[in-house]
Structure formats: C-alpha cells, structure tokens
Amino acid sequence: MITDHNTTAPLEEVKTWDSNELVILSGMEWTTFFGHLLVIGARKVVDWRKATIETIDSSLEEIKAAGGLTGIAHPFSIGSPMCTGCHWDFHVQDYGLIDFIEVWNRLNPDEDFRSQQAYEMWVDLLNQGFRISCSAGRDWHRQEDETDSTALTYVGASADYADVLLANLKKGNYYITLGPKIHLSMKQAGKTYVMGDELRVGDSMLKITLEPTEQAKLKAFNFVGEYLVVWQNDQIIACETIEEGIEKELSLELVPGYLRIEIFGRGKGHSNKRLVISNPFYIGKA
C-alpha cells in the first residue's frame, strides 16, 4: 500500500519495477488544511479540494461510492504553523464512514505520546459502537537511522491479490505490531472466525500463537511478547502469560460489542511495552 500527498505518481513508478512479488494497492494521502486522509483502492480520484472542515462527510461518501477505504492519518501530529493540516481537525459527523485510524505512525511510535492519543481516540470510537480498525504506517520523509524502529501492519489474506487484500482491509482482518507476529482466530459452534468477523453471544474459544519477528532490522530491538490482554468492550476479561511458538487457547463468554487482544512484553531495554494490537472481532446480539 503506497500513498503520496495529493498525487498517485508513485503508482506509475511501481509499474516500471521488475517484480512479481509485490502487490501494490492504489492510494492517495489527501493533504488538506484540516487533516490528512488516507484513501485506499478507490476506482477514481476524488477531489480533495472540495472538502471543508464541516462538509467532510460528503467527501467520505463520495470516496465510498468509488469503492475506496478511508483512514485518518496521524490524527494528533503537530498542526499549523509547524505542519499545516497534519493535525486532524475535520468535524466528522458519522465515523461509520471511516474505515481505520492510524494509531501508530512515524518512527519509534512506541516512544511517541501522540500514539497513545490516537489509540485512545480509536478505543473511544469502538466503545461508541463504531466498527473501525487501527493501522500502522509511516510518512517516509527521510531514511531512518539504525536506532529507529517502525511499526508493521500484517493483513490476513488467503491469496496475494489486490482485491483479496482490499477486502480484508475493509473487513479489519489485520493487526499492527512493533515486531512479534501472531496467528489469531476465534472458534464458535464449529466455525473459525478472523478479525473483523461477527460472532454470536455465548461460548467461544480464542486461539493465538505468538512468533518472533522475521524482519532483520527489528530483531535488533529485542521485542519479545510476554503476556496477552483480552479486551471485551471497555473491560479486560483475561490477562495471561504467552510464549513464542506455543498455541494458547482461552474459553470466553461473549457479550454484545467487540473483543480484541493486545500483546505486552519487553524491548529496547524496557518492560510492559504494548507490542501488538489486534483489530476487533464483533459480537452481535443474541
């Protein structure tokens, strides 16, 4: 997924690459006076210049009509006069028109207080009943140093095709991480569910396996998951130790709302760091 400020020029360059291994989703980062909006997979370019602070919903509806996904980029970055439009100031009336919020942005997002602000914004919207995902990304304005870490987004997809990836992004079948990988699913009544799916109220089984990062650079930061936290709506319903390579199962009683997990552990010489954030499973009414 590659975006640039008010242009799709990078996509033209990608077409010249001699590689069959990369699947690139089209996108643009709307760069306006009132915020930056990520537009992914739209069938046409929607004019960002028409968006005003009070009429953003109509622009979001136009993006949706074009088949696009919408995401708020770095909502709590410093705004004017340091970075015009970098802070999210749009007055969104219906957050159901937003697919995701960039919770982790920039280099070393685990060290940035703005990441916590974005996380709290996302959780607040979940608790209001919106089905909205969290994402990780970076504005690649400079090459990072060896001491800089970046967050990753892992998408659950059955095949490396653009339409499959886009469908899973739309559903919310992905998680963000500072390094460790997870395999996560829920089981209920003999059926397996992934992030973004809707389950029923009642008994269920959560299954998760933790794995170390495969990214050479991220290995240097020694991010190691140590315990799992399960959130159901605004309550922690389980907190369990977890070890790499060993599948963990938790029997859970689901209530209406959502369920998501986080992995905490150590890294960069610190403990109790939030390393992995999953997107929610949703639970309908009985």
Per-residue pLDDT reduced to its tens digit, 18-74: 766 778 888 989 999 999 999 999 999 999 899 999 999 999 999 999 999 999 999
Give the rounded distance of the alpha carbon of 45 from its chain centre. 23
pLDDT over 80 (residue 279): yes
Q: Is the dihedral of CA 237, 242, 245, 251 positive or negative?
A: negative
Strand order in the sheet with 248-254: 191-193, 181-188, 202-211, 248-254
Distance CA 197, CA 154 (A): 17
**What token pair was written down for 254?**
């689901």
Query: Helix, strand or coil for residue 156?
Result: coil
- What is the pTM for the complete model shown? 0.94
Q: Are the C-beta atoms of 227 and 241 separated by less than 8 Å?
A: yes
DSSP letters of 112-148?
-HHHHHHHHHHHHHHHTT---EEEE----SSPPPTT-
Say which range, 83-87, 164-168, 198-202, 231-235, has the weakest mean pLDDT.
83-87
| pLDDT band at residue 286 under the 50/70/90 scheme | low
Give the model confidence (pLDDT) of 255-267 as tens digits: 999 999 999 999 9
Query: Helix, strand or coil for residue 13?
Result: helix
